[in-house]
Chain A
Amino acid sequence: MRKVKMSMGFLLMCQMLNAQETQSLMEGSGKIYVVLATVLAIYFGVILFLTIIERKLSNLERQIKD
């Protein structure tokens, strides 16, 4: 269910990105928002990796406790 929600969110994001407004935003201000998007992508990628390790560790802790 969670994965479905996540992919729905992704689709929605793509829809938003296709919109005209986003286009002019990204093209404007010397395309600085493209750089912002790049930096955010890296940020979320690293956070995602940390979250995965976090969840695995929690699972391990639970297993050790039982």
Chain B
Amino acid sequence: METIRQIPALIAKEFLLEWRSKYALGGVLLYVLSTVFIVYNGFIRVAPPVWNVLFWIMTLFTSVNAVTKSFSAENGNRQLYYYTLADPSAVIFSKIIYNSLLLILLNVLTYFAFSLVAGDPVRDKGLFYLAILLGSIGMAVTFTFISAIANKARNSATLMAILGFPVIIPILVSLIKISANALGVITDTSVGQDIMTLLAIDAILLALAYILFPFLWRD
């Protein structure tokens, strides 16, 4: 009960921090826009299959950029302070929920910006938003957890990429397949099964993050 009560407070804290250091969010937004612009300049006309892959690659890099700092932004002393106040599972859940919300926002924004310059080939909007939702949650869970691991080691920025990218591939591959369905690139009757698969992967990773985070926590 205590844990659940702590989560909203911690999420509010995350928002407050984000708001205070506006440069971080601004940096990510700028990153999204400039990537979209570069991709647009490079391709101009984008065929739906390419659009699909490009979109997910852009969201992947945006997500890494946005989530990496979730542990490194706060210094050791401040983290120590949280440890004395809050439950570890409350901390990881609040970070994951906050990062999920942030990524959903950023990815929808990427979608709007990208479809503005490169056209919008999405036919099944509902399915595509569902893919963005599940993808954002999956990436938030994975990258939050990986950044918690990488933050403990030396040169954590490099480690973040080395640890994070291979681990995200199962999620990314199933996302690309689901959104290919939404774009009408492939028609697949088993799309419901794909969504269940993605949901299951998300759930397993979330459960693991919950179980394992206390071990990363103390030192």
Determine direct contact between A and B, CB below 8 Å: no
